[in-house]
Structure 1
Amino acid sequence: MSLYPFKFDPILKERLWGGTKLNTVLGKPITTDITGESWELSAVPGDISEVSNGALANTSLQALIDEYNEALLGKKVYERFGNEFPILIKFIDAKQDLSIQVHPNDALAKERHNSFGKTEMWYIMQADEGSELIVGFNKNVTKEEYQKHLDDNTVTDLMNYEKVTEGDTFFINTGKIHAIGAGIMLAEIQQTSDVTYRVYDFNRKDKEGNLRELHTEMALDAIDYEKKDDFKVAYSKEPNACGTMVDCPYFTTNYWNITETTVIEVKERDSFTIFMCTKGEATISSPAGSIEIKRGETVLLPANSETITIEGAVELLEVYIS
């Protein structure tokens, strides 16, 4: 079987803070008006993506990896991660503020949850006027000071708020306290992990009238209490050229603004390549086949693709393992 470019059925997640933009803006087949996440590419147990196109339609991502390993993932990626797919790709619609939260690093996540840590990045696709993110603290704090503000219900006084517009990009390393604010729709690229420590939820109740679980004690040793200005990502938006956004041990992400036919050489990459479409539409081709992509869709190209040709008027996030 020749490995061609793959699309996958979205895995839609109802969330207390979700809305309807995943349908009205991105065309996802949501069934509730509180749909917060579309998991585009996932190998998280219990939420494994299935192919939606071609001869391998209805095959799970995990089955693809088990069958084709290096041809799909790349030799160096397979040697590093084995049959565990290292990336989780999502679109997120926050109608309300998300909880303030933090993610543990690899060592802590392995020890406590036998999981990867959760380094992630956000690309703002749409933001209502005045929308904000919480990213880090607004000053250096001590663990004791942080705990006191939690106890006093004033922890938001310590948070750093960032107003956002379309195209803004943020790198959220493990340990950084954060939250997506109301009115924001974004693309999220992260390590394969579903480990989140929720530390403050604005005293909201779920549809059963219960306060959501907090992970106050577990978060204490995961938080970086220093104020750091290391999260806003600058990148080139030059047409038909690679604009590197994030290059970290867990993933590399590039921005492409395609206005004319562009060929990307990936033979030496030795990694799968993912494209998330944030605007427009295009045809993506490899020697094994072609596929259409439009806003809100995600495509996975196997590591043996060698060259990738993009034709159309489109803005893409390109993701792979360096």
Structure 2
Amino acid sequence: MELLFLEPVFKEAIWGGTKLRDSFGYDIPSDTTGECWAISAHKNGDCKIAGGRYDGKYLSQLWEEEPELFGNYPGDQFPLLIKIIDAKNDLSIQVHPDDAYAAEHENGSLGKTECWYVLDCEPDTKIVIGHNAKDKKELEEMIRQGRWSEFIRVVDVKKGDFFQINPGCLHAIKGGTVILETQQSSDITYRVYDYDRLSNGKPRQLHVEQSIDTIVAPFEPAKCDTYTENLQGAEHKHLITCPFYSVDKYDVDGVFTIEFDKYFTDVSVVEGSGTVNGIPVEKGQHFIVPAGYGKCRFEGVMSLICSTPEKH
């Protein structure tokens, strides 16, 4: 059984920059590249397997043809999508629907629960998480009247911060931030406000009615079951377990051995370099550990962010 290394897919964006090239060494399409879809089988960005017996196959193909690689995880689509996001400028103020709303209004798509690990950010950077409306009525009034500074909840952010973004949570990454995002495999985003920016001379599409439908009021921060422990060869930080995924960070220093026991595991090398079972790996590489693979022996100095799907 082999580890499944992937070729990323890149997305240009009005707010994107060059850090995916400058920090990760990726061959990006332009100086306004916002997203690296690192592990994805979504139709809008399907990663190819790089090397090994499945070289050149799309991840979506493997999901259909070799379900045992993924522990026969239930469902008709690969459940997770792992991204690195370079926000040179502010993203729009937005919200994602849950599974039920997306299934009804977005042609059966999954909803979008996601979480952010802040890989880097400039000093004094902020992030938008939540809003200040006391109920749904005030929320609708604030949006329709454009009372954005009153409505939007802004918090400070620093490297190493972690945020869980449940459906219905108003949010936006602001300029100067690089994050690793773990999310359901969905590309549904409702923009409620975009700073009146123009793209190709025209304002970008807003989704005001869908946003009012889906934003939860009043805002309540998501609860995270985060803890840290020292293991032999690594510091382990459990970030969250929610109904869709479990996410962990491992800071490896020396030799660290682990057996991932649930379904399959997505692994992103976000700092440093070394080997996994003798295979060289470095910052910016992403791979899937198939179900039943057995032990992974990491050697070197590197930081890994790992995610497994939860059965729900």
Question: Does the CA-based 8 Å contact 1:170-1:233 persist in structure 2?
Answer: no
Matched, 1:73 2:65: no
Question: Does the CA-based 8 Å contact 1:293-1:299 persist in structure 2?
Answer: no
Give unmatched runs, 5+ long, in structure 2: none
- Of 282, 302, 308, 2:290 maps to 302
Matched, 1:321 2:305: no
How far the C-alpha of 1:232 sits from its partner, in A, is 6.8
**TM-score between both structures, scaled by the size of structure 2:** 0.93
Instruction: For 1:8, give the aligned amino acid.
Output: L
Paired-residue identity, %: 33
CA distance in 1, matches of 2:211, 2:221: 21
Instruction: For 1:33, give the aligned amino acid.
Output: D
Question: What secondary structure is seen at the aligned counterpart in 2 of 1:85?
Answer: coil
How far the C-alpha of 1:233 sits from its partner, in A, is 7.1
- Who is 2:253 aligned against? 259
- Of 202, 205, 230, 2:198 maps to 205
- Over the aligned positions, Cα root-mean-square deviation in angstroms equals 1.7
- Of 262, 273, 281, 2:273 maps to 281
Question: What secondary structure is seen at the aligned counterpart in 2 of 1:55?
Answer: coil
CA distance in 2, matches of 1:39, 1:148: 36
Matched, 1:236 2:224: no
CA 154–230 in structure 1, closer or farther in 2 if over 3 Å, else same: same
CA 30–150 in structure 1, closer or farther in 2 if over 3 Å, else same: same
Question: Does the CA-based 8 Å contact 1:237-1:257 persist in structure 2?
Answer: no
Matched, 1:271 2:263: yes
**Matched length:** 307
Give unmatched runs, 5+ long, in structure 1: none
After TM superposition, the structure 1 = structure 2 runs for residues 62-101 of structure 1, keeping only pairs within 5 Å, are: 62-70=60-68, 72-75=69-72, 77=73, 80-82=74-76, 84-101=77-94
Question: Does the CA-based 8 Å contact 1:237-1:243 persist in structure 2?
Answer: yes
Greater shift, 92-101 or 304-313, is seen at 304-313
CA 140–237 in structure 1, closer or farther in 2 if over 3 Å, else same: farther
Matched, 1:152 2:152: no
Matched, 1:117 2:111: yes
Residues 4-56 of structure 1: CA deviation (Å, up to 9, x unaligned): 11211111100000000010011111121110000011111142110112232
Question: What secondary structure is seen at the aligned counterpart in 2 of 1:194?
Answer: coil
Instruction: For 1:284, give the aligned amino acid.
Output: V
Matched, 1:167 2:160: yes
How far the C-alpha of 1:231 sits from its partner, in A, is 5.8
Question: What secondary structure is seen at the aligned counterpart in 1 of 2:31?
Answer: coil
Q: Which one has a larger percent strand, Structure 1 or Structure 2?
A: 2
How far the C-alpha of 1:155 sits from its partner, in A, is 2.0
Question: What secondary structure is seen at the aligned counterpart in 1 of 2:222?
Answer: coil
CA distance in 2, matches of 1:211, 1:142: 29
**TM-score between both structures, scaled by the size of structure 1:** 0.91
CA 231–100 in structure 1, closer or farther in 2 if over 3 Å, else same: farther
CA 146–155 in structure 1, closer or farther in 2 if over 3 Å, else same: farther
Question: Does the CA-based 8 Å contact 1:14-1:37 persist in structure 2?
Answer: yes
Question: What secondary structure is seen at the aligned counterpart in 2 of 1:303?
Answer: coil
